[in-house]
Structure 1
Amino acid sequence: MGTALLVTAGLVATVAAGCGDGAGAVPKITTTARAGVAPVPPQQGAYFGAWVPPEGTGRPTASGSPSASDAPSGSPSGSPSGRDAGKPGMAPVAGFERQLGRQLDIVQSYRGWKSDFPGGLEESVADGNRYLLLTWGGADTREIVQGRHDALIARRARALKALGKPVFLRWSRDMDKPSAEKRVHSPADFTAAWKHLREIFTREKVDNVAWVWCPTARGFGGVNAGAYYPGDDQVDWICADAQPGGDYDYRDLSEALKLFMEWARKHKKPIMIAEFGVPKSYGTRRAEWLREAAKTLQDPQVKAVVYFNSDEQAESARDKRRAYSVSGDKRAVSALRELATTPYFNPRNLPVTSGG
């Protein structure tokens, strides 16, 4: 299975614009990633993935990232990938896949800056026919440039190299948020730290990692999120986190992404939407939102989408505006299943079942 994934990834190193259901053409897409070793974009369509929290976790960690502890194992019957359900951390993923009626292309995990990885979940994902999207927390950018974390970075680089499978690495996401300013300091400090990390990974000869740069979509409206961009030669995928936000009664994904997409058009890079979700506060309109989102995301430059199937950002049990899990909402599950099984979001032509 893993070999098949590598073969698929190795088909192209540069990808011409796809033909996403009538969407307009975009410039030729390029990546610095090594085809056949690191993840590269599909020739047509977009990978579909998700963040599925481990069982027994709920609140975000102090760093703002979800807990990455391993979930109890178990094998939900009827899962399209039931043989993987018993692997460490994979039971919730297999259960979510059963609801969707297909296997995920991408499984996301979150790790803090000082966390050891890969852990059980990451190793389980790499052991199968899925891409790992590892979201790694940030640290003080000036300390990184000064070399104070070089030993830690080198250890993590060697660990990912030893994993021996393609990995999306999303380091210090949402760096444009005001809450991150104390450790990020400035765009110049961030880009210098990014380049320092890449230098160490290059020194360690890590070539199975694709670098994903990911601010918030909202940051292209207020603060200048684009100022944090390290450059086309430093980034493999450009990305945005595009949750609607708790201050909107209703907001289409197209509205949330508009300014980011306008910025992204200027760069010949594949786009990943790494955290999108429909709030429970939208009630019966959740299915409508997801169907409209499916249209928005069928864009020839969008090459990966990752659903945030979690309520852990909610400030309380009553906070429905920051709760995104579709589990238990039959209409929302059905609409997300429609999105996930649309041929555009199944570029590897994985088997589709009835789901549920």
Structure 2
Amino acid sequence: MTDDECPELVTRCRFGAWSALGGTPVEDHRALEARLGAALPVFSWFSALHDWDAGTAGGIAAFDPADPYDCMVCLEPWDTRLADVVSGARDGYFRRWAGGARAYPGRVLVRLMHEANGNWYPWSVAHESDAVTDPEQWQEAWRRVVGIARGQGATNVAFVFCTNTNDVGGVPAEAYWPGAEWVDVVGVDGYNWGWDAAGRPQVTAEQVIGPMYRRLTALHPTAEFVVGEIGCAAGPGKAAWHEALYRSRRFPRLTRVAYFHEAKEQDWRLDSDEATLRVHRRYLARAPR
């Protein structure tokens, strides 16, 4: 399917979010769904390297037992040297984690060591830490984790090679590529950080997604594409920015979009103003479960 043949994104893509409102991830996701008046069947959350969080996973599974939500977990190796992953020193942990993930009744999408092509996480070569020595070590660590999960029979677990929308720090996304046989899904994270004096966004949603969509789908000929995080800073055009995303007819391999619903560096929330809230309510009512 070409871009010209694509129906609107809202009719063919599952939407979800990371919601941070001060409660537990499950409580905050429920609160966001209530605010939007719609289901968000992609549940995005973050985990450091500790055992599989059965409590959170059980809460996610309970949302819709007949058709479980996608469990999109960002697995972040804070305070971990990738040399220890490569050597096998962390194999026991990853076996336990994969065994827990295997028990989830739906699909688990793992954004492992996300946004490595930036310079703000210690698992990025461009970061000032020495947690990873070079892209080859990063690739070896990725392949070891994926191999362990597959060895545990976790067939519901898909590993997402998820990059930042731009390369920052001099090490491009392609340098980390571990090989198509070790990647199940490709994806991107990105944001519109602000507006110019004329009220135009720094980047549209299509401009956030498009460049890395082309690069990553070229690396993997068949993998689906997901948006692991996306958001738009507050401004007079925020509602229109999101409406254009829902109405996009591009990116035929895009299957899932997860919003970042938190007032953090900017106010990325989906209800930061009434016009934006109305757009989400209107379009998410049409989105597939």
TM over 0.5: yes
- For 2:275, the equivalent position in structure 1 comes to 331
- For 1:187, the equivalent position in structure 2 comes to 135
Contact 1:310 1:325 in 2 (8 A): yes
Whole-angstrom CA distance in 1 between matches of 2:267 and 2:134:
31
Q: State yes or no: 1:293 paired with 2:262.
A: no
- Select which of 136, 144, 151 maps to 2:85: 144
Contact 1:290 1:339 in 2 (8 A): no
- For 1:48, the equivalent position in structure 2 comes to 15
- For 1:110, the equivalent position in structure 2 comes to 46
Structure 1 residue 96, shift from structure 2 partner: 1.2
- For 2:32, the equivalent position in structure 1 comes to 96
Per the normalisation by structure 1, the TM-score is 0.68
Answer with 288-297 or 226-235: which moved more: 288-297
Question: Which one-letter code corresponds to 1:159 in the other structure?
Answer: G
Q: What pairs with 1:255-274 in structure 2 (closer than 5 Å)?
A: 255-266=207-218, 267=220, 268-274=222-228
Q: What pairs with 1:1-356 in structure 2 (closer than 5 Å)?
A: 19-21=5-7, 45-56=12-23, 71=24, 89-113=25-49, 115-127=50-62, 128=64, 129-138=68-77, 139-179=80-120, 180-181=124-125, 182=129, 183-219=131-167, 223-245=171-193, 250-266=202-218, 267=220, 268-280=222-234, 283-296=235-248, 298-312=250-264, 314=265, 322-342=266-286, 345-346=287-288, 348=289
Whole-angstrom CA distance in 1 between matches of 2:223 and 2:285:
25
Whole-angstrom CA distance in 1 between matches of 2:93 and 2:202:
43
Question: Which one-letter code corresponds to 2:82 in the other structure?
Answer: T
Answer with 217-226 or 139-148: which moved more: 217-226
Alpha-carbon distance change, 303 to 222 in structure 1, aligned in 2, over 3 angstroms: farther
Contact 2:69 2:106 in 1 (8 A): no
Whole-angstrom CA distance in 1 between matches of 2:73 and 2:172:
25
Residue 218 of structure 1: SS of its match in structure 2?
coil
Q: Which runs of 5+ in 2 are unaligned?
A: none
Per the normalisation by structure 2, the TM-score is 0.83
Structure 1 residue 54, shift from structure 2 partner: 5.0
Contact 1:188 1:228 in 2 (8 A): yes
- For 1:76, the equivalent position in structure 2 comes to none
Structure 1 residue 150, shift from structure 2 partner: 1.1
Contact 2:194 2:232 in 1 (8 A): no
Whole-angstrom CA distance in 2 between matches of 1:222 and 1:335:
38
What does the per-residue CA deviation read over 1:184-220, in whole Å, with 9 as the maximum and x for residues that have no partner?
3322111111110111112222212111110101128
Identical residues among aligned pairs (%): 21
Structure 1 residue 22, shift from structure 2 partner: 7.4
Contact 2:232 2:238 in 1 (8 A): yes
Whole-angstrom CA distance in 2 between matches of 1:222 and 1:296:
31
Contact 2:42 2:258 in 1 (8 A): yes
Count of residues paired in the alignment: 268
Contact 2:118 2:168 in 1 (8 A): no
Question: Which one-letter code corresponds to 1:250 in the other structure?
Answer: Q
Alpha-carbon distance change, 230 to 17 in structure 1, aligned in 2, over 3 angstroms: farther
Whole-angstrom CA distance in 2 between matches of 1:258 and 1:142:
34
Question: Which one-letter code corresponds to 1:332 in the other structure?
Answer: T
